[in-house]
Structures are given as structure tokens and as C-alpha cells.
Chain A
Amino acid sequence: MKQLIMKNISKSYGPVHALNRVHLNFSENGIYGLYGRNGAGKTTLLNILSSRIFADTGTVTWDGRDVVRHPEKIAASCCYMPEKHLFPGGFKISRLLSLAQQAFPDYSKQTETRLCRAFHLNTGLRYNQLSGGFQSIFRIVLGLASNAPITLFDEPVLGLDAVSRDRFYQELIHAFSEHPRLFIISTHLISESADLFNEAVIIHNGEILRQAPVEALLSNAFYVSGRASDVNTFLKDRTVLGSQDVNDLKTAVVEGNLHTEKPIPGLQFSSLTIQKLFIQLTADPGGQESDHE
């Protein structure tokens, strides 16, 4: 089983620490979701994984080989579709796609044709004639048709309507089950993407907060609500991720497994969604109740 491994990766831009001692493991057959707020370090992470930029410290290895010392290893294996493109804007889509076909040994012309039709991508247009949504679609078509062992998508559904997003999720799962490979996908649309992933990675201020299957993340946090005094008693000696008060009622998010809690009169336990958990983990401290007094 091949793995893509980041060890102790740090990267700064001047005074800004974009990534701080990041450790991550990706297996060769898996779809990984990368969740983080704006500026969390998602794009820097993908840029380093694909050797588009280099880390200040640490190593990235694919199948045990350092990707910086063996650039040929990663170049043929990795298809990175960044949010900010580097394509010559004046080139026609058909020309860009045939360049991609030369670059990726397992490229599927058949997949490309099918996807262009499914997404109504006009390959006769130049890249800079495409709307933002169609530029995303172009990246999706290229990324899925590449059949690259490592496919990285930075915000692939940016600017896409609901129908096209749904189609992308369908095509992604189809591509993965036909030809298992490694996908790493960053997105802000947490709720609608979570079921696609083998594992989710939550990155915050350049550090990895979590890497686990979504189900495992959700089984380690739950809501407790009731009278503030009762809730506060319950919260003693527990790890509290966040809380909200309305008059003398309180709802808190606690670490722990909902299913192993015994019922307590006056308190209600319930599960979180992955999006709510993400917000609890990455919101500014005290930021949620703030200015509404």
C-alpha cells in the first residue's frame, strides 16, 4: 500500500506561519476532505504536496521516496487542480486537454469526452472566455480524466450551481470506484461533501486539528442542553468545545461519545453535524454569542 506522507512540514511567508509542523498520512486508495477556514493553510498544504512550492522544513514522501529529491516520481503521478490556475488563458480548452493527455500516462480521452458532454463544457472556447463556474468545470474534467494516482483539487466546486456540484460528487465516486486512487479535496461546503470522504482533515491556523473518518469525529462530541445550572454541573471535569446561553438555558458542545452517556433528568443529549463540529473547533473564542445582547 503506497502512502503520501507529510512529516513535520512548516512553511512561512515572511512573518506569516502558513503551516506549522504538519504531519499527515494519505493512503493510495482514499478520498480525503480538507476543511479549513480562509487562510487556514489548505492551499499551501496542497501546493507543497504537489511540489508546486517547497516547505521550509520537513519532508513529503510518496511510496517512501522524497518528492523533492525525486521530482520525476511526483510529476507523473500527481494531477493538481489549483483554484488559481496557471493555464495560458488564450489557449483553447481542447488544446489544454490534449496537453493534459500528453502529461498523464493514464489519461482517459473517453472520460474527458463523457464529462465535457455531461457538464456542457464547450471545448472550442478559450480558457479566459469561460465563466468562473466553467473554469471550475474544466478543472474537474481534467482532474477526473487524468486518472493520476494522486489527484488534488483545491475548491473544485467553487462557483458551481447545485446541479453541477451534485454531478461532480457523482462522477468523483464513479471515478474512484472504477479506478481507485488518492484524491485530496479542499472545500468550504462541509455538509454536502462529508459523506464522500474516507477521512476528513481539519486544518486551523496552519495546524492539523483532526484527521479521522467523519463518523469517528462525530462520535467524539455531542450537544448537551437544559437549564444552565444543570448543564454547568454536567460540564464539570469535561472538555467543553463551546457553549451558548439564552436567558437561563444553556447548550454546550462536549467531547465524548453520546451513546455511552446515561440519561440525566432535565438534560437533553443530541448529536452534532460535521459542519457544526467544524465551527465549534475553528470559531474565534467567544465569537459566536458576542454582539447580540
Chain B
Amino acid sequence: MKPEFDSEKSIYLQIAESIEDDILRNVIEEESRVPSTNQLAVMYRINPATAAKGINLLVTEGILYKQRGIGMFVSTGAVKKIRLKRQKSFDSKYVVPLLTEAANLNISKEDIIMMINKNRKSSS
């Protein structure tokens, strides 16, 4: 879980994303329990309704499911679901801002491709 939120985005969205991040990185595994609404609210000092809104978002998307009287769990297939969802928004979230900043700095398409190749080599 993220230790603190930034002020740019709604907190319930940051709660949902933070749980998704943990699921993607396998910090929380599929079919294991995630913190309850009240635990999240106390931990972040936020209104329980806000925490519930973030959790419910993930329930609606089928990433979490509720087991009555026990708690909230990660669905089987959640990792795949999150990947698919984030792949769809990768373009608008990362590529578009990258190209906007590159244009401001007069960095050409060729330069960007060169940088990508160089970084891929060093990280693989």
C-alpha cells in the first residue's frame, strides 16, 4: 500500500490503484485477503465512505470479491484483468504526455526511439 496520497487525484481512485499495484506486483496474491474498508480508513485517516468507494470500484470490475462476514478477497484472474485494463490506457497515460513534452523540447521521433532501444537493452 502507498504510504501517502497526492492531492492531484481523488483519494478513492488512489486507494483502488494502490491495491491494483500490489496485486500486479504480487504483493497481494490472488485469492488472498485485502485490508477492510475500516482498516484502510484508520490507516489513511480518511472517511470510511471514501475507502468503501475505492474498494467497491474494484468489486464492480471483478478484481475483488466480498465474502460475507470474512472480508474482501482478490479474484482469480485479477492480475490479467488489471493488465488488460492498464494496457488500454497506456497510450493516453504515458505515450501522449511523453510526446507532448518531447515536442516542447524539440526531441525528434528518431531520438525517442533511440532512447527506448538503449533503455530496453540495459534493463533486459
Contacts and interface: CB of A to CB of B under 8 A. Distances in A.
Q: Do A and B bind each other?
A: yes
B42 A195 contact: no
Contact of A170 (B10, B45, B48, B49): B45
A176 B41 CA distance: 10
A198 B41 CA distance: 12
A42 to B, nearest CB: 20
B42 A198 contact: no
Interface string A168-186: 0110011011000000000
B32 interface: no
B50 A271 contact: no
Contact of B45 (A196, A198, A215, A273): A196
Contact of B50 (A166, A174, A195): A195
A223 to B, nearest CB: 12
Interface string B37-69: 110011011111110000000000000000000
B109 to A, nearest CB: 22
A196 B8 CA distance: 17
B82 interface: no
A215 B11 CA distance: 9
A195 B48 contact: no
Nearest to B41: A173
Contacts of B48: 173, 176-177
A170 B50 CA distance: 15
Nearest to A171: B42
Q: What bracket does the count of chain B residues touching chain A fall in? A: 10 to 19
Contact of A173 (B7, B10, B11, B42): B42
Contacts of B37: 177
Contacts of A271: 8
A198 B47 CA distance: 6
A195 B44 contact: yes
A271 B7 CA distance: 9
A166 to B, nearest CB: 7
A215 B12 CA distance: 10
B88 to A, nearest CB: 19
A102 B37 CA distance: 33
* Most-contacted residue by chain A among B42, B44, B47 (CB, 10 A): B47
B41 A177 contact: yes
A197 interface: yes
Interface of A: 31, 166, 169-170, 173-174, 176-177, 195-198, 215, 271, 273
19 contacts: A31-B47, A169-B45, A170-B42, A170-B45, A173-B41, A173-B42, A173-B46, A173-B47, A174-B42, A177-B38, A177-B41, A177-B48, A195-B44, A195-B47, A196-B46, A196-B47, A198-B47, A198-B49, A215-B10
Given A177-B38, A177-B48, 5 more contacts: A31-B47, A169-B45, A173-B42, A173-B46, A196-B47
